[in-house]
Amino acid sequence: MDWSVIYEYRYLLWNGFIVTCKLSITAILLGTLAGIAVSMARTSRIAWLKIPLTAYVQLFRGSPLLIQLFMFYFGLSYIGVNIDIFKATALVFTLYAGAYISEIIKAGIESIPKGQFEAAKALGFSYVLLMFRIVLPQTLKVSLPPLIGFNLTLIKDSSIASIVGYAELLHQGKTIMNMSGKPFEVLLFISLIYFVICYPLSMFVAWMERRIYIR
């Protein structure tokens, strides 16, 4: 084993790390917003929104992320939409995350007793206000652990973007592998980076779940 390869290509790895962070953070933020919006619309009484949104959630939860990436990245340029790779991957990751997160938040919303909705209506709250002031804050305790858990998955899944050529950590790793001929060290180091990001988060999730369970 020859670890000097890591030091030699530190700039490429750092670059990949930044790009991975960029994609993950974009997907987490936009995906969470999309998830909240979709779950609110799906639990509201606007009937015509329900069918397309349910179809969207079903479709993105019912196919592999890799296929979705191919579909958007190759498919959009095929129908003549010019899109750069960051926007294409960020779009797919946002849609993918939005579908999963909306299910998590929807489950949270449905766990709130009906009386709360009726009380808010009696007080004259609008639906949006009712959600943000009354329902969503209460769902936080139930849906925060799975929400962070999913975002953890999303950070790990950002490595899949390397397959369509997005220059994130694993993609840079592949480049280094080809240049140095030391695949094992490079891949082990990349695993370590993911582990350092993900392990504290998963400990946090486990801690939160334990706390909820005890109460």
Q: Which CB sits closer to other proteins, 42 or 182?
A: 182
Q: Are 196 and 17 in contact (CB under 8 A)?
A: no
Token pair for 28: 């987490």
Shortest gap between Cβ of 92 and other proteins (angstroms)? 12
Distant-in-sequence, close-in-space partners of 170: CB < 8 Å, separation ≥ 6: 16, 159, 162, 190
Choose between 135 and 190: whose C-beta lies nearer to other proteins. 190
Burial class (CB in 10 A: 0-12, 13-18, 19+), 150: buried
Binding region for other proteins (CB under 8 A): 58-59, 61-68, 70-71, 74-75, 78-80, 152, 156-160, 162-163, 170, 173-174, 177, 182-184, 187-188, 190-191, 194-195, 198-199, 202
User: CA separation (Å) from 91 to 62, 94, 121, 164, 199?
Assistant: 17, 5, 36, 14, 26
